[in-house]
Structure 1
């Protein structure tokens, strides 16, 4: 069945809005978009949006640079193609030359990512900065990782170990089709369409044999009752399906909210660990200053004692 272009456009627009907000606004924005989709009776869109995960700070910062600086994204893509080509050809001279260009571009991305974080009230820690750098290196190393980064819908940082493939599991927004921002699959028809040219089925016909004997009123009533029962079963199945979809959407939202809380606590732990590290450094400096001050005080006390003794000796001497 061909994709539903209008559904794909609505999903792309909603995701673009969702992944443009600051990390602290993600959950409330997603909830609002899901509610709006439900109000519009767009169950498929609500389900897709409910599956969208909040990005980590590093992933959000990379998305922000992709969105705000498309020229950097283009440079990254071109550089990745050149680096992979040089690697495939084992061109050491080209790799050495490109490494300098890579470092310059990574520095530009780092500055812009940090600026985006500061505007959102969340300056990037050194650990997050390293995750941003690792993500870009992974994109340069592998085409699929590059596509994930340039989608602008990254959900977590990437890492390339120097061999093998980059792990992209739960690293980028995917629709129920499993593709990155692909067209939302249209819902299957409730009943299969009749094949072109196929003879229409008629009551009383089986194969080429035709029954011409008239049906009694009781038989007509029984057939009507069966058709009514069939319709009721279909309606009940449809209602059960809609309820199951609704339950799955709500369960997905609950799961993502739990993940969001886990992410938030992890960010808070990172912040507290940074503050603790700074506090320990300040404590060590204060202890060192206190030790030096105590040493200076002892030296001063010794000098005072010497001065007192000298004064007493001077007074004790006769004129």
Structure 2
């Protein structure tokens, strides 16, 4: 059975017996959330800044889109200072079932709230939004079709007009054999978040690339058990592709974003206080246990901002209604 990659990924990840209906992300790949509690601490600092920019409203939202096991939402709620905690409304958004033991104060939903005032975080969510793959031929772009059972491919029809327009603007292909991944579904998904944001900020963190540095053969990849595997959309592995965050940024602006920042995780987290600096050796002399804790935290923070690893992730931050966080 030959289908488009978008349809194959949708069924493989989110069908009745799809990968994300059965599995938790931490069982198959390491995200920033699982690498260190410092990631949640940094986002809590950002939430506090957004709260201040909004004038500390009676209720402030923290929405975790693509929550997975709910760990980020749980850490945010647990670490929030008392003056914020009493006003904080935490929502974890995911298609999987609610994890056992998750704090009852955390709402669990399949879609974001209809109206959000506060901070929305989508960490490694957009890369799992299904999308089509195209290949350039001498006669123009053609959709790539796939057999979900084997991963075998063949060329299909020409993309529709909307997808051709997206390719022309965001991922033009020059030579036969080049491939692209049509990010229009990601743009639409991100816009659907921004239209819900009445006041505040939305942040997308993901594997990313920009128009002047698109990979010529695309980025479609499979993950299983912590290892890269062939991208076979049979439901046994995660299927992911890097995100054209610049295109998502434009979609967010069209949906109402008043300001946009595109940067790296390294720069974003450093601005939020994540340094990865080793503690002074003097601490080891009078507090060996404290020194080891500080050393462990520094190592975790260094992983979060490593430019060759998690620190190289793209960060897209967009604000609405003058809700730019104060420093």
By the TM > 0.5 criterion, same fold? no
Greater percentage in strand: 2
Q: TM-score, normalized by length of structure 1?
A: 0.25
User: Which is greater in Rg?
Assistant: 1
Q: TM-score, normalized by length of structure 2?
A: 0.25
